[in-house]
Chain A
Amino acid sequence: MATERQSANVVTLRNLSKIYGNNTVAVDSLSLELRKGEVFGILGPNGAGKTTTIRMMLGLTEPTSGSIDILGMDPLRTPLEVKRNVAYMPDDMGFYEDMSGYENLDYTARFLGLGYDERRSRILAAVSRMRLEHRLSDRVRTYSHGMKRRLALAEVLVKRPAIAILDEPTQGLDPHSTAEFLTLIRSLKKEEGMSVILASHHLDEVQSICDRVGLFHAGRMDLSGTVDELATRLFGGKMEVVVEVGETGNRDVAKILGTIGGVSHILQEKEGVYRVTVDSDIRPGIASALVDSDVALYSMDVHRHTLDAVYQAYYKEVHDAA
Chain B
Amino acid sequence: MRRNDFALRGLRVVTVKELQDFTGSARMVILTALILITAASSLYTATNTMKTVVSEDEFLLLSLFTLSRNPVPSLLSFLSFLVPLTGIAMGFDVVNSEFQNRTLKRVLSQPIHRDVLLFGKAVGALGAMTVVLLALWMLVIGSAMLVLGLPPSTEQVARALAFYGVTLAFGMFWFLVAMFFSVVFRQQATSALVSLGLWLLLTVFWSMIAQVVATAVGGVGSFQAARLEVLLSRISPNTLFAESALALLSPSTRTLGVVMFTQLEGALMGSPLPFGQSLLLIWPQLSALVALLVLLFTASYVVFQRQEL
Query: Chain A interface (Cβ within 8 Å of chain B)?
Result: 20-21, 55, 58, 60-61, 76-81, 83-84, 86-88, 90, 92-97, 107-108, 110-113, 152, 155
Contact = CB atoms under 8 A, between A and B. Distances in A.
Nearest to B9: A80
A111 B112 contact: yes
Given A20-B308, A111-B10, A60 B105 contact: yes
A73 B201 CA distance: 50
Contacts of B105: 60, 88, 90, 92-93
Nearest to A86: B109
A210 B123 CA distance: 45
B102 interface: yes
Given A86-B109, A113-B111, 11 more contacts: A60-B108, A79-B3, A80-B5, A83-B111, A88-B105, A88-B109, A94-B103, A95-B106, A108-B106, A111-B112, A112-B110
B305 to A, nearest CB: 10
B113 interface: yes
A80 B308 contact: no
- From B4, B6, B10, B105, name the one whose CB has the most chain A CB atoms within 10 angstroms: B105
Contacts of A110: 10, 13
Nearest to B2: A77
B1 interface: yes
10 contacts: A60-B109, A76-B1, A78-B3, A79-B113, A88-B109, A107-B107, A110-B10, A111-B13, A113-B9, A113-B111
A77 B4 contact: yes
Contact of A94 (B4, B10, B102): B102
Contacts of A58: 109
A151 to B, nearest CB: 10
B5 A96 contact: no
B4 A78 contact: yes
A88 B104 CA distance: 12
Contact of B5 (A81, A107, A152): A81
Interface residues of B, number: 24
Contact of B308 (A61, A93, A155): A61
Dominant secondary structure of chain B at its interface with chain A = loop
Interface in B57-105: 101-103, 105
Interface of B: 1-6, 9-10, 13, 17, 101-103, 105-113, 308-309
Contacts of A81: 4-5, 111
B102 A79 contact: no
B129 to A, nearest CB: 21
A112 B102 contact: no
- From A20, A83, A111, A152, name the one whose CB has the most chain B CB atoms within 10 angstroms: A111
Contacts of B103: 93-96
A120 to B, nearest CB: 16
Contacts of B4: 77-78, 81
Contacts of A78: 3-5
Contacts of B107: 107-108, 111
Nearest to B97: A96
Contacts of A21: 308
B221 to A, nearest CB: 52
A83 B114 CA distance: 13
- From A81, A92, A93, A97, name the one whose CB has the most chain B CB atoms within 10 angstroms: A93
Which 4 pairs of residues, A with B, have the shortest CB-CB distance? A94-B102, A80-B5, A111-B110, A88-B109
A83 B109 contact: yes
A68 to B, nearest CB: 13
A79 B109 contact: no
A79 B309 CA distance: 16
Contacts of B9: 80, 111, 113
A58 B114 CA distance: 13
A92 B111 CA distance: 20
A80 B112 contact: yes
